[in-house]
A and B are shown apart, each in its own frame.
Chain A
Amino acid sequence: RPCSRGAMANEARHPQEFINASVALKVLKALRAGRVRRPDLVVAHGAPFLEGRHASSVGAAERYAIIEEVFVAALDRGEAELARRCLATLNARFPGSKRVRSLAAMADEAAGNFEAAMGKYDSIIEEDPANMHVHKRRVALLLSKGDTAGAVAALNDYLALNAGDPDAWLELARIYTAGAQYRRAAFCWEELLLLVPSNPVFLCKYAETLYTLGGPEVKTARKYFAKALALQPDNLRALYGLHAVRARRAGGKEGRRRSLVMRPRGAMAFFRAQCCQAVVGSAARTKGQRTDRDDAALCADLSEHAVARLRAAYKGNDFNARLLERMLEL
């Protein structure tokens, strides 16, 4: 979504040293692959491909793709003139193209001309009702305008027809979370996890959302933190999550066991068993056959394992290690 506040970050000037074309291409590729939003780097490395030194260093298709990225980055940074030159170049090469028209609409958005932008998006959709990209741009525009309800409605309509779009579920989860609608956000995370089941980031966010809902959901949160940890044994969110679940469940200090000595085989077996049992989706909501006492023991085991791994993670970093120890004392 083009950011009108990019003007503040625009204070950063472009590096003066010459950047070799192949280095520039590597940087741009890395940013693209990592989906990292660093408009300053995109402009610095990509702008020479517009009219400057590198304009003839790459094939045409690649050059126009870079120009499109520079255009968006320029909007992010509030560099209207650079954006205008990019758009003019693209327009000259691809006149009347829907893709270029939607870029022109983004420029309108960045300038705050929301009505003009919406008009452009609507006319593209009239010609091409299945244009996923423009549907999502409409949602982004509604969010920029502050029409959250409209954005949510549009995004739900889009997802009714495109339930296989992970980005859209992620965005909807984010919007619901921002509005403190945790139940609805949890539903979105569930849909996302059906599409992308082994992503520790999503597993943890789902677990955090369940934890925030509280009550019986905290136990399900524990399953998902454990599942994330099974995939990524050093995931800090999952480790802290397992520790927090025990504290929440036990109601604070009263529930804490005096001894922090782990029972190695029992704990690891429990832990692994728990991870294997975790099932993504609505089946995960079943309570299981454990008695309350066994369940409390499992919580304690998971928490002790988490604490041990957290301590190992912070070995060698005194400052962070001390923060952890003080937290454990509370």
Chain B
Amino acid sequence: RTRRGRAMATISSDAFVNMMLHSCKHPHRSVNGVLLGSVSEDGGVEVSEAVPLFHGILGLAPMMEVALNQVEGYCASVNSAVVGYYCANERRADTELTHLARKVGERIHARVPSALLIVLEASPASTASSSLPLKAFSLSGSVWQQRDPSSVKVDDEAGARAALEACLTAAAQYELCDFDDHLDDGARVWIGQKPAQLSGRSS
């Protein structure tokens, strides 16, 4: 049960909702962000927060470096760590890992061997689907391998999906601020956003 390959990746409800809101805010563009949290002794990963970074043009170095440096500084102050990276491709049906995702993943893996890469998929409009709308990858040797879906779960998935639906009903995704939005308006805060606050602001 504690064998490395079976270690669970758990995503908090807030992190799940934030990732999906980021994707829904820019449905016609690629988006990306980092995952913060902790790792356990058996190689498991617990994601407590998803921090949205960019939308549209993702792969440019200078702002990515600034964002990652600032996130790392934040993590040090809240006793958390960067444990993964998420992205959604421009065509949501395309769930391939991009070159950028691998590069960022490798940088994170250098410090956190159980680093998680998540590619968000197109999600069916209803909550009828039983599987999570994402693919998760872990580095095995030098290859990013897709994790067995049963080894990835969302904490209180039903609650998370309900929260997401409530947010979308209130159009709360438009309140979410990623690093790109922060660069356009320095007064906006892009780390530590909670879905409940976002829907509160938009209704």
A-side interface residues toward B, CB under 8 Å? 1, 3-13, 37-38, 40, 76, 78, 143-144, 146, 174, 177-178, 180, 205, 207-209, 211-212, 214, 221, 234, 236-237, 240-241, 243-245, 313-314, 317, 319-320, 322-324, 326-327, 329-330
| Residue on A nearest B99 in the bound complex, by CB | A180
Roughly how many angstroms separate A13 CA and B184 CA in the complex, as a whole number? Answer: 29
Consensus secondary structure, chain A interface = helix
Instruction: State which of A1, A40, A240, A327 has its C-beta within 8 Å of the C-beta of B63.
Output: A240
Roughly how many angstroms separate A5 CA and B124 CA in the complex, as a whole number? Answer: 9
With a cutoff of 8 Å between Cβ atoms, the chain A residues found around residue B169 in the complex are 11-13
Asked if residues B186 and A327 are in contact (CB atoms below 8 Å), the reply is no
Instruction: Confirm or deny: B196 has a beta carbon within 8 angstroms of a beta carbon on chain A.
Output: no
Instruction: State which of B92, B125, B182 has its C-beta within 8 Å of the C-beta of A10.
Output: B125
Asked if residues B28 and A1 are in contact (CB atoms below 8 Å), the reply is yes
When A and B form their complex, which 10 residue pairs have the shortest distance between CB atoms, in order from nearest? A326-B73, A208-B60, A11-B168, A212-B61, A3-B28, A7-B125, A5-B27, A323-B70, A244-B62, A327-B69
| Residue on B nearest A310 in the bound complex, by CB | B186
With a cutoff of 8 Å between Cβ atoms, the chain A residues found around residue B66 in the complex are 240, 243-244, 327
Instruction: State which of B59, B99, B125 has its C-beta within 8 Å of the C-beta of A212.
Output: B59
Interfacial residues of chain B within 183-200, with CB under 8 A of chain A in the complex: 183-184, 186-187, 189, 191-192
Nearest Cβ on chain B to A179's Cβ, whole angstroms: 9
| Residue on B nearest A39 in the bound complex, by CB | B27
Apart from A7-B124, A177-B60, A320-B187, what are 17 other A-B pairs with CB-CB below 8 Å? A1-B28, A4-B122, A6-B27, A8-B24, A9-B168, A10-B125, A12-B169, A37-B28, A180-B59, A209-B60, A212-B60, A237-B63, A240-B63, A241-B63, A245-B62, A327-B66, A327-B70
Asked if residues B74 and A326 are in contact (CB atoms below 8 Å), the reply is yes
Q: Contacts A8-B168, A317-B187, A326-B76 hold; do A178 and B58 have CB atoms under 8 A apart?
A: yes
With a cutoff of 8 Å between Cβ atoms, the chain B residues found around residue A323 in the complex are 70, 73-74, 191
Asked if residues A324 and B61 are in contact (CB atoms below 8 Å), the reply is no
A-facing mask of B163-174, CB < 8 A → 1, else 0?
001001111011
Asked if residues B27 and A9 are in contact (CB atoms below 8 Å), the reply is yes
Instruction: Confirm or deny: B123 has a beta carbon within 8 angstroms of a beta carbon on chain A.
Output: yes
Instruction: Confirm or deny: B156 has a beta carbon within 8 angstroms of a beta carbon on chain A.
Output: no
Nearest Cβ on chain A to B89's Cβ, whole angstroms: 9
Asked if residues B57 and A317 are in contact (CB atoms below 8 Å), the reply is no
| Residue on B nearest A213 in the bound complex, by CB | B61
Question: Could you show 10 A-B contacts with beta carbons less than 8 Å apart?
Answer: A6-B27, A178-B58, A208-B62, A211-B62, A212-B61, A212-B62, A243-B66, A244-B66, A314-B186, A326-B77
Instruction: Confirm or deny: B158 has a beta carbon within 8 angstroms of a beta carbon on chain A.
Output: no
Instruction: State which of A180, A320, A330 has its C-beta within 8 Å of the C-beta of B100.
Output: A180
Chain B CB count within 10 A is highest, among A7, A12, A38, for A12
Nearest Cβ on chain A to B190's Cβ, whole angstroms: 9
Instruction: State which of B70, B90, B186 has its C-beta within 8 Å of the C-beta of A313.
Output: B186
Nearest Cβ on chain B to A125's Cβ, whole angstroms: 24
Nearest Cβ on chain B to A312's Cβ, whole angstroms: 10
Nearest Cβ on chain B to A315's Cβ, whole angstroms: 10
Instruction: Confirm or deny: B42 has a beta carbon within 8 angstroms of a beta carbon on chain A.
Output: no
Asked if residues B57 and A236 are in contact (CB atoms below 8 Å), the reply is no
Q: Contacts A144-B91, A236-B183, A241-B62 hold; do A11 and B70 have CB atoms under 8 A apart?
A: no
With a cutoff of 8 Å between Cβ atoms, the chain A residues found around residue B170 in the complex are 12
Instruction: Confirm or deny: B41 has a beta carbon within 8 angstroms of a beta carbon on chain A.
Output: no
Q: Contacts A11-B169, A324-B70, A327-B73 hold; do A5 and B122 have CB atoms under 8 A apart?
A: yes
With a cutoff of 8 Å between Cβ atoms, the chain A residues found around residue B92 in the complex are 4-5
Q: Contacts A3-B28, A329-B73 hold; do A12 and B171 have CB atoms under 8 A apart?
A: yes
Asked if residues B62 and A240 are in contact (CB atoms below 8 Å), the reply is yes
Roughly how many angstroms separate A223 CA and B165 CA in the complex, as a whole number? Answer: 46
Asked if residues A9 and B187 are in contact (CB atoms below 8 Å), the reply is no
With a cutoff of 8 Å between Cβ atoms, the chain A residues found around residue B62 in the complex are 207-208, 211-212, 221, 240-241, 244-245
Asked if residues B61 and A208 are in contact (CB atoms below 8 Å), the reply is yes
Asked if residues A208 and B73 are in contact (CB atoms below 8 Å), the reply is no
| Residue on B nearest A225 in the bound complex, by CB | B62
With a cutoff of 8 Å between Cβ atoms, the chain B residues found around residue A243 in the complex are 66
Instruction: Confirm or deny: B56 has a beta carbon within 8 angstroms of a beta carbon on chain A.
Output: yes
Nearest Cβ on chain B to A83's Cβ, whole angstroms: 16
Asked if residues A326 and B27 are in contact (CB atoms below 8 Å), the reply is no
